[in-house]
A and B are shown apart, each in its own frame.
Chain A
Amino acid sequence: MEYGIHVHDIRLLPNDPREVCRASWRDILPPGPLRAIYFGSEFCADLLPDATQVARYCAHAGDAGIEAVLLTPVATPGGLARIAQLLASLSVAGDVPAVVFNDWGVATLLRDSFPRLKRRAGRLMNRGLRDPRLMEKVMDSKSISGDRGGRMRSFLAQSGVSAVETDADLEGGFLGDGTDGMQRVLYLPYAFAASSRNCLIKADHARTIDECFTKGLGTSCSGLCRGAWHRIDRSDTDLPLWRAGNTVFFEVPRFRAEVHIEQADRIVLHERPTA
């Protein structure tokens, strides 16, 4: 097992990557070295770092002898243009992070225009169920129900994708048995439940009604949600839920995480819920 981490301050790399998580998680996480640092955004193009910030991440990762991994979101036309511009700037500067794509348009852009960059299929490529209301209820949680996503993994592997990444869904089996040659990556301890462009936090910072929800889809966002996450208390689940930016996350029950860990080659530990 090896580890990646997604932390707010890359200058503070831990000696043991498991220190990123609360102590209660550490007894189910096998020991392993830190191999990668993750940054960027999977859920909102407005939260993508600029080229200077990415260069800083890449330099820091290079100094530490670990891989820099840029997360990218599902992208609107404007978002895709922004990603293309960012990748072009990075290529010119010689910064070459691996890139996690969560959108087939981004995947195609990487393949056709930036073939030097290592491509990794992100967790949103797995559309499996992650309903926090069911996480503690359905299925025999001690087993994964079988292989799922074999055609897609073959397709990805044949396209030159180097890794398939996911968080802990209800069904399991998405990462396969590793025979397709791609690294299998599991995100812990947070899984996403739902995401939306109709961002509640954007609306909370809005000046006018026209920046809110459907009416605000066409207006840009200054990303004031960065660094903030909000606890959500719901009566229909006992799991801790958070809203970070435009996305609702929950902490995966440990018993469910354990069966996914068995399928992973790398675990990416998120310091906190992050859109």
Chain B
Amino acid sequence: MKILAPLRHSDEVAPLLEAGADEFFCGLTPPGWVSRFGLAWANRRAPQSAGVPDLDDFERIITGAGKRPVYVALNAPYYPPGAVELLADFGATLLDKGAAGLIVADMELLLALVEAGQGARLHLSSLATCINAGSARFYLDLGIRRIILPRHLTLNEIEAVLIPGLEFETFLLNDGCVFEEGLCATTHAAGAFCTMDGEGTQGVSPETLERYAFWKWTLNHCGCRTGNDYPLGPCGLCAIPRLLRSGIASFKVVGREASLSRKVASVRIAALSLRLARGGSGPAEIRQAVIALRGSPQMCEERHLCYYPDLWEQKESIC
């Protein structure tokens, strides 16, 4: 069971290791990409704000991480013609340089990498929307190693997806998504489409639109707020004991483009929660420990930040 931490620079490796990271993920854009493919992104996040600067820095990351695995995201939902061949070669280069695996969403790239014999080093991105056991079995048959489950699943659903022969990773902290990430055909390169979603929708009550706006605000870290320097965003820390029992291999702390301080705080609170769970603490004790650090008890008690609110008993609060 591991805490997976985001990276965008080699300088971040040591502080994140110290905070409790067990493995890392990052994103890189291949050399020559921009001249051929313009503004299309090689992975889900913006290269300028979330990407590792270059291969030299990636090699420093590998060195700094030591035996800790570093995975590289090549997980745009689709690629323009000609890009898949370039990315398959680039993926092979990254693996040669020490990447432990590649995170892939696009079926075309996935098939190219499987054909190249790299299946066992592939992680299926949450963007591929693998949300049932039949789909997991399909990817197992292709030979991939790990499936990153999308955000919007209940704990019961997560447990129903898990099958032997694959590792599974779940979202643990930060960066919510209004839509199902893999079923959002818009691009953040034009600004987040969901920011304005809800507004201007005819025939929906103002009260519902207000609740929607509040929910979106929580997904966006309550307007980019922190509590005692810990991010006040989507959070699944209390669910760690149950996810541990289910056999989840890795817990994802999201946010490659975040500041180092936010990354460190996120990994620290995640690692603390994992230690508590390993020591036998249950959801309530973890929640108490998290509130002691992060504050904002109401956000936890009313389950506003929960990735997995079904962990807690529902209250019949009338709309």
Assuming the contacts A105-B133, A197-B152, asked whether A171 and B197 have C-beta atoms less than 8 A apart, the reply is no
Q: Which of B112, B183, B187 contacts A124 (CB 8 A)?
A: B183
Q: Is there a chain B Cβ closer than 8 Å to A200's Cβ? A: yes
Question: How far, in whole Å, are A152 and B128 apart by their CA atoms in the complex?
Answer: 14
Whether A224 is near chain B, meaning CB under 8 Å from some CB there, is: no
Which of A169, A192, A211, A212 lies at the interface centre, i.e. has the most chain B CB atoms within 10 A of its CB? A212
- The answer to whether B319 and A212 have CB atoms under 8 Å apart is yes
B203 in the interface (beta carbon within 8 A): yes
What is the CA–CA distance of A171 and B202 in the complex, to the nearest angstrom? Answer: 30
CA distance A217 to B184 in the complex (A): 18
Complex-state Cα separation, A193 to B194, whole angstroms: 11
CB <8 Å contact, B202 and A194? no
Alpha-carbon separation in the docked complex, A191 to B154 (Å): 29
The distance in angstroms between the C-alpha atoms of A215 and B185, with both chains bound, is: 24
User: Is B211's CB under 8 angstroms from A230's CB?
Assistant: no
CB of B130 within 8 A of CB of A214, answer no
Within B99-147, the residues touching A (CB, 8 Å) are 105-108, 111-112, 115, 127, 129-139
Contact (Cβ within 8 A) A171 B132: no
* B160 close to A (CB within 8 Å): yes
Interface residue count for A (Cβ, 8 Å)?
72
Q: Is A198 an interface residue (CB 8 A)?
A: yes
CA distance A236 to B65 in the complex (A): 43
Does B310 lie at the interface of the complex (its beta carbon under 8 Å from any beta carbon of A)?
yes
Give, as a whole number of angstroms, the nearest-CB distance from A84 to chain B.
Answer: 9
CB distance from B82 to the nearest CB of A (A): 7
CA distance A209 to B317 in the complex (A): 6
On chain B, the residues within 8 Å of A107 by CB distance are 138
Could you tell me if A213 and B303 are in contact, using CB atoms closer than 8 angstroms? no
B185, A193: Cβ atoms closer than 8 Å: yes
Roughly how many angstroms separate A107 CA and B127 CA in the complex, as a whole number?
A: 18
A residues near B (Cβ < 8 Å) are 43, 74-80, 103-109, 124-134, 145-152, 155, 169, 171, 173, 191-198, 200-201, 203-204, 206-215, 217-218, 228, 230-236, 243, 248
List 27 A-B pairs, Cβ < 8 Å. Answer: A75-B131, A104-B138, A108-B137, A127-B185, A129-B77, A131-B190, A132-B186, A134-B187, A148-B108, A151-B84, A152-B108, A173-B81, A192-B183, A193-B186, A194-B186, A194-B194, A195-B184, A196-B180, A198-B215, A200-B198, A203-B208, A206-B319, A209-B318, A210-B316, A212-B211, A215-B306, A231-B203
Closest 7 CB pairs of A and B: A105-B134, A105-B135, A146-B81, A77-B160, A233-B200, A130-B185, A131-B186
Contacts A76-B131, A147-B81, A151-B107 supplied; 13 other A-B pairs, CB < 8 Å: A79-B132, A80-B132, A80-B133, A108-B137, A134-B190, A149-B108, A151-B108, A196-B152, A204-B204, A204-B205, A217-B152, A234-B199, A236-B196
